[in-house]
Amino acid sequence: MNKTIEVPFDIENVEVFNTEINEAGQLIITVRNTDESVCCHSCGKIATELYGHADARVVRHASSFGLETYIRHYTDLMISRWR
């Protein structure tokens, strides 16, 4: 049985997509970037074209509400059209 909880997340360009307490009693906070452009890792120019999504990264965070807490971060992959 999944339980949910609302968590404020005051980090620029990041939004909380989902929160849940899993069967192991761990708080999982799923976040994603809201940036509409990034610097292309290949050519260094502004990239605005979405071409996929990276695998989620899961990072252990400080305990919250007495629960082990993990941040699950999804990143959109973007590419520069000038590449």
Chain segment 40-83, per-residue pLDDT in tens? 777 888 888 888 888 899 999 988 889 999 999 988 888 777 65
Q: Examine residue 19 and state whether it is found in any structural domain, yes or no.
A: yes
Q: Examine residue 6 and state whether it is found in any structural domain, yes or no.
A: no
Q: Examine residue 9 and state whether it is found in any structural domain, yes or no.
A: no
- Give CA torsion, residues 39, 75, 35, 13, to 10 deg: -120
| pLDDT over threshold 70, residue 1 | no
Distance CA 69, CA 60 (A): 6
| pLDDT over threshold 70, residue 2 | no
Q: Examine residue 2 and state whether it is found in any structural domain, yes or no.
A: no
- pLDDT grade for 35, boundaries at 50, 70 and 90: confident
The structural domain count of the chain equals 1
Pairing, β 57-64 against β 67-74: antiparallel
- Domain containing 53: what range? 14-79
- Once rounded to an integer, what is the mean pLDDT over residues 20-40? 88
